[in-house]
Chain A
Amino acid sequence: MKPFDYVRALGPGDATAAAGREGAAFIAGGTNLLDLMKLGVMTPSTLVDITHLHLDRVETTEDAGLRIGALVTNSDLANHAAVRRDYAVLSRALLAGASGQLRNKATTGGNLLQRTRCPYFYDTAMACNKRDPGSGCRAIGGVTRLHAILGASAHCIATHPSDMAVAMLALGAGVEVEGADGKRRVVALDDFYRLPGEWPDIETVLEPGDLITAVLLPPPPQGRQIYRKVRDRASYAFALASVAAVIRVDSGRIASAALAFGGIAPRPWRDGDAEAALIGEVPSREVFERAADILLADAQGQGGNEFKIDLTRRLLVSVLTEATEERT
Chain B
Amino acid sequence: MQTRLHVNGTTHHLDIDPRTTLLDALRDHLRLTGSKKGCDHGQCGACTVLLNGRRINACLALACMHDHDEIITIEGLGGPDDLSPLQAAFVAHDGYQCGYCTPGQICSATAMLEEMADGWPSHVTDDLTGATKPDATEISERMSGNLCRCSAYPNIVDAILAVAAERTRA
Binding site for B on A (CB under 8 A): 1, 3-6, 27, 30-31, 34-35, 38, 47, 49, 51, 75, 78-79, 81, 84-85, 88, 91-92, 95-96, 98-102, 104-105, 234-236
Contacts and interface: CB of A to CB of B under 8 A. Distances in A.
In this complex, which of A5, A84, A92, A98 has the most chain B Cβ atoms within 10 angstroms of its Cβ? A84
Contacts of B115: 75, 100
Given A30-B62, A51-B65, A236-B144, A102 B18 contact: no
16 contacts: A3-B17, A5-B18, A27-B62, A34-B61, A49-B65, A79-B120, A81-B129, A84-B121, A99-B45, A100-B108, A100-B111, A101-B57, A102-B60, A104-B55, A235-B123, A235-B144
Nearest to A102: B42
A234 B138 CA distance: 12
A30 B65 contact: yes
Interface string B1-28: 1000000000000000111010000000
Contact of B55 (A5, A34, A81, A101): A101
A92 B128 contact: yes
B40 A38 contact: yes
Contact of B56 (A78, A85, A95, A105): A105
Contacts, number: 101
A84 B127 CA distance: 9
A32 to B, nearest CB: 9
A5 B144 CA distance: 35
A233 to B, nearest CB: 8
B145 interface: yes
Counting chain B residues whose Cβ lies within 8 A of the other chain, the interface size class is 35 or more
A98 B121 CA distance: 15
A6 B41 CA distance: 21
Contacts of A234: 141, 144
A101 B119 CA distance: 17
A3 B57 contact: no
B62 A235 contact: no
Contacts of A101: 42, 45, 48, 55-57, 108, 145
A38 B41 contact: yes
A104 B48 CA distance: 12
Contacts of A47: 18, 62
Given A27-B65, A84-B128, A105-B57, A4 B121 contact: no
A236 B18 CA distance: 30
Contact of A235 (B41, B65, B141): B141
Nearest to B59: A34
